[in-house]
Structure 1
Amino acid sequence: MPHAGEHRYPVTGSAFGLPLMVLCALQLMVVLDGTVVNLALARIQVELGLTDAMRSWVVTSYALAYGGLLLLGGRIGDVFGRRRAFLGGVAIFTLASLACGLATTPEVLIVARIAQGIGAAIASPTAMALIVVTFAPGRPRNQAFTVFAAMSGLGSVMGLVVGGALTEASWRWIFLINVPIGLAIMAAGLKALTVVGPTERLALDVRGAILATAASTLLVFGLAGGGAGADIVVVAALVIGVVLLLAFFYSQRTAVNPVLPLHMFANRSRAAVFICLLLVGALMMAMTVQVALFVQEVVGYGPLQAGLAFIPFAFALGLGTFAAGSLAERTQPRWIITAGGLILVAGFVYASQLGEDIGYVPELLIGILAIGFGIGMVLIPLTLSVVAGVAPADVGPLTATALVSQTLGGPLGLAAVTAFGEARARSIVGDGFDSINREALTGLERTALAAGYTDSLLICAGLSALVVVIAVVFVRFTADDIREGKKAEAAANTNRDNA
């Protein structure tokens, strides 16, 4: 019999059952949402009459809310109960998806996307915590985490196909499809998820989360607005954003439970890794959105055709991660990062030279494969370096902070390339840019948009080069540090199993 106070795990046999289906369905829905929106942006812009800057907010508003509140969202489950927080996050995400699908104005859509991000920031980390307290240590929990992790890869590929197919019918379906799925998750969750584990009395760092999100939002607004030329509003947004960012870092010095413990940046190599992850997040979101718009608006692909065209990217990324992983325990991570970063520079420079009259094979496919492989090569050593040479107790906070860095980098990168692309297109068509009919482009307008989308990839090339420089100069972790980090990660998992 269990001892008094010993935790009783609801699932002690095979992990495959309703609880795992509920938690994995949420993860799959969140990952899908991040992919399908990119394919629908062109249709959304036409129907709602969005400017290029406003169009980028359909993506960045979600990422800012999700990334800015992710660390706080994980702690909400500890304070209010994981099952309650999970179901509440799913409910917010589902209602927000309904609002997105029914939106008739840009403002309603963006506010609803913010709400989606809030719901995901609460539900997603709580789902991982529920795996720990629901599935018994050993085979059940290992099975659960394996399937849960697989949802990210599956969702990325499925999103390209499902998102393209749904958008062919109507962009609204990419959001409305979440409603029945969300309702099913809540209904099944009420039945399958057990109230387990005590809540904790923690002081939530709401001030820190608000400051981080507000600073990021203003910086993104300022960067995105620069495409039409700097004015007082753009400059003010950038200045206030920097001030709020400084206030955020100051607040973390005195917060009882800071959302970003500053001691994690004491190691110079690890601080450099976090900066590199932010830059990689920036170039990844910028690239995926710009290329998706380029192939639809300029080359003439439909949403489904565009989605299918990007499937090789996922496989190339997988090959890159495999290659980097096989080198990680015998090569210093900075040299793996350098190799991947140089491949990215070459891939982005190549892609920036593509014009409007290109074929898929070989022109577009070469760029897709090179960039996908390079990102895989860069991400693995950076991810492993996050926990290199640390104690098991620090693994969880460090990996969570790495995810936030990468997530918040995305909106900043997209804002920068959107502004650059708009400025480049304006330089060709002049004042006529604001009256472009994207459903019936003239030859000059098509050339201008092509130049804007492809030339903006040079910013991604610059970010890749910056990652290489930072890695070579500052990242001093060794292969031994990586091996120690893997041991610490394994020990952290064992401690979590015994919790």
Structure 2
Amino acid sequence: MSTSAGDTTVADGVARRPGAAILALTVAGVAQAADVSLHNTALASAAAEFGMSATQRSVAASAATLALAASILAIGTVGDRYGRRLTLLWCAGALVVGGLVTAAAPDLTVYLIGRVITGIGLAGTLALSMALIRTVAPDRVPKAMSLYFTGQVGIALPLTVIGGGLIGANWRLGYLVVPVVAALALILNKVYVPRSKAVHRRKADPVGLVLVALGLTGLIWGVSNASHGWLTARVLVPVVLGVVALVAFVWWEIRYDEPALPVHLFKNRGLAGALVADVSFNMWQAVMALQLALLWQYVYAYSPLGVTLGQLPATLAMVIGAFAAGRLAARGRRPESLVLLGLAGVALAMFLLAVAGASTPYWVFALALVVGGFSRMLTETAAGGFYVEVPPPDLVGVTVASKPAVGQASFALGSAISSTLLYGGLGRGLPDKLADLGLTPSEQTTVAGWFQDGKVPEWAKGTDLMKQVVAASTDTYITAYRTTMLVFAVVFTFLFGLAWHFLRRRPPERP
């Protein structure tokens, strides 16, 4: 056993090949990015085969996310207490099992079990792979974080393409991609990453872990159902319970002598600013990816493949942004300034998306995607360093685990709120447009039903009235889209100001 310089984390040896160790951690972390894309693509075919209802499909879509949110802080704690590498290896094994169970599922129940196991595995590989960067590269965390995130985005892209081809042949094959990645991660981390765990094994905190699990799952599940209306029981009940549980979690952690996640850590200005950044760029990712994809399909008649190719500039810019963060840090740029620069770019990108119209050229969207993608990863890479460097050595795992926990909740909120704003604006504006065309309330209801069901009667197709209705609907949708993007641009500007408060008032404390 040896102790790395400036740290009290125990390891059975330093990483003899730090580059290989960082690659091993990157492969472990990339599983989550690949799984999200592949699952969203394969779900439609799985739902058709199992005959899922709308409610069952919603559960299937969220099962892994909810399992990840419920377990991630507990897994971070287990990693700190019993070994971060050991826990990561077990979670990689869970990914193998979860993917195989999902791919071979004979019915919906087994399919959901596979997704839950996958979510637990993703929680550990995502959180602990980042936490272990402090073990394998204690003296060059910014550069290691840059390589970690650059590799994640770069590796996830071909995996998504390969998985998409497999899903086209059979949806079950798509769920075998992540198990292959996880098996490779298990081998690489076993060989190249040294052991790492806390010197002082803190007391267990089951109350805190249960409260945060209830809080995150309640909040994410509730807002995920917001398409049914925010004032429905299926939204209000889990959201209220989730918020109450999270408030109780903070209250408990403040008073417990050895909490699972000491919330006082976020008094550190750097860590507080990183938390604000997490909320911003995860919410931006949700709003951009979902609403731009729908705009392109509804207004510009893009095919699903066209949407994927259209958003490719954002992916490529993310790779460059993560790499640039490392280069700029090596040249002496403070991480605080990189976080703020990235947040400013995220807000600017949303303002650019707010100018979209029925005839907006693609290059305008591409510019917004490049600015946003580059800025997002510049921010995430620089902000991630605070989660790795700031906490005491005994709490690296659980502190890093809080990052994706906040990210999952922010992503869900971004998707739900943007959809509410957009379709709320569409619902308010479309009746006025149809009334201007001379349609009675009864006729408006009939026409709205055509669009909702996607079934236009043959007699209506090609008529002047139908063309006018389509034009009015398109105009209303674009107006609602612009308003939604503008609202979020203002939100991101506010979050930039909040992060500025934490990161620019004075240099953040260092451990």
TM-score with structure 1 setting the length:
0.72
Alpha carbons of structure 1 residues 195 and 275: separation in structure 2 relative to 1, 3 Å: closer
Q: For this pair of structures, how many residues does the alignment match?
A: 473
The residue number in structure 1 matching 2:436 is: none
The residue number in structure 2 matching 1:118 is: 120
The residue number in structure 2 matching 1:497 is: none
Alpha carbons of structure 1 residues 342 and 176: separation in structure 2 relative to 1, 3 Å: closer
Name which one, 1 or 2, has greater alpha-carbon Rg: 2
Equivalent-residue separation in structure 2 for 1:261 and 1:74 (angstroms):
13
The residue number in structure 2 matching 1:495 is: none
The residue number in structure 2 matching 1:476 is: 501
Equivalent-residue separation in structure 2 for 1:253 and 1:25 (angstroms):
36
Quick check: 1:420–1:452 contact (8 Å CA) kept in 2?
Answer: no
Quick check: 2:350–2:368 contact (8 Å CA) kept in 1?
Answer: no
The residue number in structure 2 matching 1:213 is: 213
The residue number in structure 2 matching 1:315 is: 316
**Most deviating of 45-54 and 398-407:** 45-54
Q: Kindly provide the CA deviation profile for residues 35-92 of structure 1, in whole angstroms up to 9, marking residues without a partner as x.
A: 4345556656666666778766655543443345333312312333445422321122
Q: Quick check: 1:76 aligned with 2:78?
A: yes
Alpha carbons of structure 1 residues 265 and 35: separation in structure 2 relative to 1, 3 Å: same
Q: Quick check: 1:463 aligned with 2:488?
A: yes
Alpha carbons of structure 1 residues 53 and 284: separation in structure 2 relative to 1, 3 Å: farther
Quick check: 1:290–1:453 contact (8 Å CA) kept in 2?
Answer: no
Alignment of 1:353-372 (within 5 A): 353-354=357-358, 361-362=362-363, 364-372=365-373
Alpha carbons of structure 1 residues 41 and 124: separation in structure 2 relative to 1, 3 Å: same
**What amino acid is the match of 2:355?**
Y
Q: Quick check: 1:175 aligned with 2:180?
A: no
- Quote how far apart the aligned CAs of 1:247 are: 1.5
Alpha carbons of structure 1 residues 170 and 289: separation in structure 2 relative to 1, 3 Å: farther
Equivalent-residue separation in structure 1 for 2:156 and 2:309 (angstroms):
12
Equivalent-residue separation in structure 1 for 2:363 and 2:114 (angstroms):
40
- Quote how far apart the aligned CAs of 1:288 are: 2.0
**What amino acid is the match of 2:157?**
V
The residue number in structure 2 matching 1:345 is: 350
Q: Kindly provide the CA deviation profile for residues 104-144 of structure 1, in whole angstroms up to 9, marking residues without a partner as x.
A: 766655554333221122234444566666x69789x9998
Q: Secondary structure at the match of 1:172?
A: helix
Quick check: 1:40–1:167 contact (8 Å CA) kept in 2?
Answer: yes
Quick check: 1:285–1:410 contact (8 Å CA) kept in 2?
Answer: yes
Q: Secondary structure at the match of 1:113?
A: helix
Alpha carbons of structure 1 residues 128 and 386: separation in structure 2 relative to 1, 3 Å: closer
Q: Secondary structure at the match of 1:468?
A: helix
- Quote how far apart the aligned CAs of 1:318 are: 5.1
**Most deviating of 187-196 and 306-315:** 187-196
Quick check: 1:319–1:373 contact (8 Å CA) kept in 2?
Answer: yes
Equivalent-residue separation in structure 2 for 1:107 and 1:449 (angstroms):
41
Structure 2's unaligned 5+ residue stretches are 4-9, 431-446
Q: Kindly provide the CA deviation profile for residues 430-459 of structure 1, in whole angstroms up to 9, marking residues without a partner as x.
A: 456774589xxx998999799779946754
- Quote how far apart the aligned CAs of 1:315 are: 3.1
The residue number in structure 2 matching 1:9 is: 13
Q: Secondary structure at the match of 2:501?
A: coil
Alignment of 1:126-137 (within 5 A): 126-128=128-130
Equivalent-residue separation in structure 2 for 1:387 and 1:181 (angstroms):
24
The residue number in structure 2 matching 1:336 is: 341
Equivalent-residue separation in structure 2 for 1:320 and 1:336 (angstroms):
11
Q: Secondary structure at the match of 1:476?
A: helix
**What amino acid is the match of 1:416?**
I
Alpha carbons of structure 1 residues 165 and 291: separation in structure 2 relative to 1, 3 Å: farther
- Quote how far apart the aligned CAs of 1:280 are: 2.7
Q: Quick check: 1:100 aligned with 2:102?
A: yes
Alignment of 1:266-281 (within 5 A): 266=267, 271=272, 274-281=275-282
The residue number in structure 2 matching 1:231 is: 232
Equivalent-residue separation in structure 2 for 1:104 and 1:432 (angstroms):
36
Aligned-CA RMSD value: 5.0
- Quote how far apart the aligned CAs of 1:343 are: 0.9
**What amino acid is the match of 2:223?**
L
- Quote how far apart the aligned CAs of 1:313 are: 0.6
The residue number in structure 2 matching 1:417 is: 418
Alpha carbons of structure 1 residues 130 and 233: separation in structure 2 relative to 1, 3 Å: closer
Alignment of 1:11-160 (within 5 A): 12=16, 14-15=17-18, 23-40=25-42, 60-103=62-105, 109=111, 111-128=113-130, 148-160=148-160
**Most deviating of 51-60 and 270-279:** 51-60
Equivalent-residue separation in structure 2 for 1:413 and 1:224 (angstroms):
10
- Quote how far apart the aligned CAs of 1:94 are: 1.8
Quick check: 1:320–1:372 contact (8 Å CA) kept in 2?
Answer: yes
Q: Kindly provide the CA deviation profile for residues 376-403 of structure 1, in whole angstroms up to 9, marking residues without a partner as x.
A: 5655676678799x78869947655444
The residue number in structure 1 matching 2:405 is: 404
Alpha carbons of structure 1 residues 131 and 386: separation in structure 2 relative to 1, 3 Å: closer
Alpha carbons of structure 1 residues 184 and 237: separation in structure 2 relative to 1, 3 Å: closer
**Most deviating of 20-29 and 451-460:** 451-460
**What amino acid is the match of 2:91?**
G
Structure 1's unaligned 5+ residue stretches are 493-499
Quick check: 2:26–2:152 contact (8 Å CA) kept in 1?
Answer: no
